[in-house]
Structure 1
Amino acid sequence: MLLARQALAPAEAIRRLTPLQGQDSPAPYLALAARLDRLARDDLQAAIESRSVVKTTIMRLTLHLVAAAEYPAYAQLTRQARMRAWRKTYAHLDEAGVAAELGAWLEEPRTNDEIRERVGGYEGVADDPSTPVVFARTLLPLVQLPPAGFWRDRRRPSFIVDSRPLPEPVAAATLVLSRYLAAFGPASRRDVAAWAGVAQRDFAEAWARLSTVSYRDDHGTELFDLPDQPLPPASTPLPVRLLARWDQPLLAYADRERIIPLEVQPLKLTLSGDATVTVDGRVAASWRLQREGDAVKLTITPHVEIRRSAGGEIRAEAERTARFCEPDARTFGVAGV
């Protein structure tokens, strides 16, 4: 979708794109705006309100927006490594009994503070802010209730258990692997494990089950894709895009050099979460937005030399993004290019 914007409903777009980073609440909106035609912020908020999209902690224990129909598969896959650790740490607990008891309690909305107090009652749970919360999020598929996920929502979320049964682990891994390859292939086994934040062994049987084709990159690394997927030639023109904080391409591959040039990597943009600009499919700059009264300015900070011919396209994309972020502003300016 970064090659050409499409007209899709938010839930279907997220299903195809795989879950969108939601650590920063505007980020999924900006990620979709870079990929969809005529998206309004209310479109995604309506999908969250209707629960066709849910906000939850999954890959790499970070917040994402997920197409609700496929959330159980992502939840099952990403809990596997954490459940191995959970079972070692809490071997003295009755896993099924605790899951049933805690799951029944979480059928009603609960805050993190309430979860800490309740889970802290189990023997062996450390008395610190994170351990009881991770305990619950590992054992049970918890989602945040709206308005969590709304544009710039700052309220403390409430959590509820997703009561749907989880698919068996291999089926879950196979579905997630197919979605990943459809969105990001060709890619290596290491890439998909790093993206999901799981061990490569958690995908082992899925690789055996899923039909794939393979290629070799310039370094001899084997890359996999789904059969009959388009493979644009290297000469394909790639449009300028303003990406969200922690946008997918920056985190989709273990080899960050596929999108982040070596000279940019010392900036550690995948840690800082700076919003980025891609030119010719590679990170070339960061961007930030400022508003004073009715005036909005979007500033581009280049990190590499940018070809002069890209300036007009960057300015057009920057103004489009500024208007999406601040639709009620009266003037829009672009600086830095």
Structure 2
Amino acid sequence: MTGGPRGEDGGVLGPRALGRALLARQHLLERAGTTPAAMIGHLGGLQAQAAPQPPYLGLLARIDGFTPDALTGLIETRRVVRIALQRGTIHLVTAEDCLTLRPLLQPMLDQQLRTTFGKRLTGLDLDALAAEARALVEAEPRTFQRLGAELAAARPDRDPAALAQAARCRLPLVQVPPRGLWGRGGPAAHTTAEAWLGRPLDPTASLDGLALRYLAAFGPATAADLQKWCGLSRLAAVLKRLAPGLVTFRDEQGRLLYDLPEAPRPDPDTPAPVRLVAPFDNLLLSHADRTRVLPEAHRPRVMTQNGIVLGSVLVDGLVAGSWQLTGEGAGARSVTVRPFAALARADRDAARTEAERVLAFAGGGGEVRFEEAG
């Protein structure tokens, strides 16, 4: 099913219908033959604070024929970058999205800084701090530890960590390679997006465009879902303004869902293949109500109290277990699958096939292990 009626007469969409729509847009029903850059752009970025596996494994789940070098080359040639964006977390995004999304998300970053470090920054001239930090990181990429220490040299009464985070908020700081490269890695050293990309930020980007991009990759969705994904607030007015060009539905709780008229909304009974979804994948992090793909009973088993989001096993479109790759490249040794309940033989075989695909991607060799269900 694609498209639907305009106005608030699209009917009710249950969790299964919402899940199939999400999986279709995430290319987790059928893998795509597109380029990594195009996929990253479509998804609005891949969460990437845990270097380097999640973005690579996220693309592997979605793209036929994807290899590590395909993404590594994009990072090294500055076509994609790692920068704090949605929810204040590190995302891997295209250079163009770095320049357009970063200004839009500034209010959220400001709020996070006030909430977390406000008392330690009281009375500080943040404009002067940002100017000094810019000069430092553009002269040579710096880790936050080094940057904080250098900023504190002229401010000995201030917390260096708070100074570094103030710079992170006020400046569009990208992490430079080899940080985040498959099989290599390095310290999280930063410079400004303008210096790294040779272009200024785009001041013309709009929240309307942000909302439409979100619906294309994550809809149908409520205003609360959109806000959960990006970290901004008061976006209901944006969707209401866009509503004449959208189609709307209700979920089973009566909440208003917005969507693009021609976006895919498959039949709820469309088969969903077993997939191994990457750790920290935005599939699980981009809705206020995640139950379209993540049963609430399983949420604590893949989202730990210390903020870790495990790799997830999708069976029939729902999270049914977790998984982990140990090592990459020459160090790849195993993929461990941990089902939450006993898997049917066909689903277990499909999970093994997906795990073997991960091992082949990671450099070959190694073994697939299944832990006891439960």
TM-score scaled by structure 1? 0.87
Higher relative contact order (CA 8 A, sep 6+): 2
Aligned to 1:259: 293
- Is residue 335 of structure 1 aligned with residue 335 of structure 2? no
Query: What is the deviation of 1:227?
Result: 2.4
The answer to whether the 8 A contact 1:77-1:202 is kept is no
In 2, distance between residues paired with 1:165 and 1:207?
31
In 2, distance between residues paired with 1:7 and 1:126?
51
In 2, distance between residues paired with 1:92 and 1:179?
38
Aligned to 2:64: 37
How do 1:238-253 residues align onto structure 2 when only pairs under 5 Å count? Answer: 238-253=272-287
Q: 1:27 to 1:98 in 2, by over 3 A?
A: same
- Is residue 21 of structure 1 aligned with residue 47 of structure 2? yes
Moved more, 260-269 or 182-191: 260-269
In 1, distance between residues paired with 2:248 and 2:286?
18
Structure 2 unaligned residues grouped into runs of 5+: 1-26
Q: 1:312 to 1:201 in 2, by over 3 A?
A: same
In 2, distance between residues paired with 1:128 and 1:177?
36
The answer to whether the 8 A contact 2:352-2:368 is kept is no
- Is residue 75 of structure 1 aligned with residue 102 of structure 2? yes
Give the secondary structure class of the aligned counterpart of 1:311.
helix
- Is residue 56 of structure 1 aligned with residue 92 of structure 2? no
Moved more, 239-248 or 68-77: 68-77
In 1, distance between residues paired with 2:264 and 2:112?
40
The answer to whether the 8 A contact 2:239-2:258 is kept is no
Q: State the Cα deviation string for residues 156-210 of structure 1 (Å, max 9, x = none).
A: 12211112433347x3423322221110100111111111122x22674475257
Give the secondary structure class of the aligned counterpart of 1:278.
strand
How do 1:120-159 residues align onto structure 2 when only pairs under 5 Å count? Answer: 120=152, 126-129=158-161, 131-159=162-190
Q: State the Cα deviation string for residues 277-300 of structure 1 (Å, max 9, x = none).
A: 101111001112357x99944222
Q: 1:232 to 1:135 in 2, by over 3 A?
A: same
Give the secondary structure class of the aligned counterpart of 1:252.
coil
In 2, distance between residues paired with 1:202 and 1:97?
32
Specify which of 170, 191, 194 is matched with residue 160 of structure 1.
191
Q: State the Cα deviation string for residues 56-79 of structure 1 (Å, max 9, x = none).
A: 122222222111111122212222
Give the secondary structure class of the aligned counterpart of 2:335.
strand
Q: State the Cα deviation string for residues 80-126 of structure 1 (Å, max 9, x = none).
A: 13335768876855555554444343322222233202433676984
Q: 1:172 to 1:146 in 2, by over 3 A?
A: farther
One-letter code aligned to 2:254: G
Query: What is the deviation of 1:231?
Result: 0.9
Specify which of 73, 88, 107 is matched with residue 46 of structure 1.
73
Give the secondary structure class of the aligned counterpart of 1:258.
coil
Aligned to 1:223: 257
Aligned to 2:248: 214
In 2, distance between residues paired with 1:47 and 1:125?
42
Q: CA RMSD in A?
A: 2.9
Aligned to 2:12: none
The answer to whether the 8 A contact 1:295-1:332 is kept is no
Q: 1:202 to 1:221 in 2, by over 3 A?
A: closer
Q: Tell me the number of residue pairs that the alignment of Structure 1 and Structure 2 aligns.
A: 332
Q: 1:207 to 1:104 in 2, by over 3 A?
A: farther
In 2, distance between residues paired with 1:84 and 1:335?
43
- Is residue 277 of structure 1 aligned with residue 304 of structure 2? no
The answer to whether the 8 A contact 1:53-1:65 is kept is yes
In 2, distance between residues paired with 1:52 and 1:294?
28
One-letter code aligned to 2:40: I
The answer to whether the 8 A contact 2:325-2:332 is kept is no
Give the secondary structure class of the aligned counterpart of 1:106.
helix
The answer to whether the 8 A contact 2:356-2:368 is kept is yes
One-letter code aligned to 1:201: R
One-letter code aligned to 2:234: R
In 2, distance between residues paired with 1:203 and 1:133?
33
Q: Could you tell me the percent identity over the aligned residues?
A: 36
Moved more, 86-95 or 75-84: 86-95
Q: State the Cα deviation string for residues 286-321 of structure 1 (Å, max 9, x = none).
A: 112357x99944222111343343222222111111
Q: 1:174 to 1:107 in 2, by over 3 A?
A: farther
One-letter code aligned to 2:275: R
One-letter code aligned to 1:114: R
- Is residue 309 of structure 1 aligned with residue 346 of structure 2? yes
Q: State the Cα deviation string for residues 259-287 of structure 1 (Å, max 9, x = none).
A: 11122123252633221110111100111
In 2, distance between residues paired with 1:294 and 1:143?
28
Aligned to 2:336: 299
Q: 1:262 to 1:304 in 2, by over 3 A?
A: farther
In 1, distance between residues paired with 2:300 and 2:331?
36
One-letter code aligned to 1:166: L
Give the secondary structure class of the aligned counterpart of 1:76.
helix
The answer to whether the 8 A contact 1:41-1:151 is kept is yes
Structure 1 unaligned residues grouped into runs of 5+: none
Moved more, 158-167 or 237-246: 158-167
TM-score scaled by structure 2? 0.79
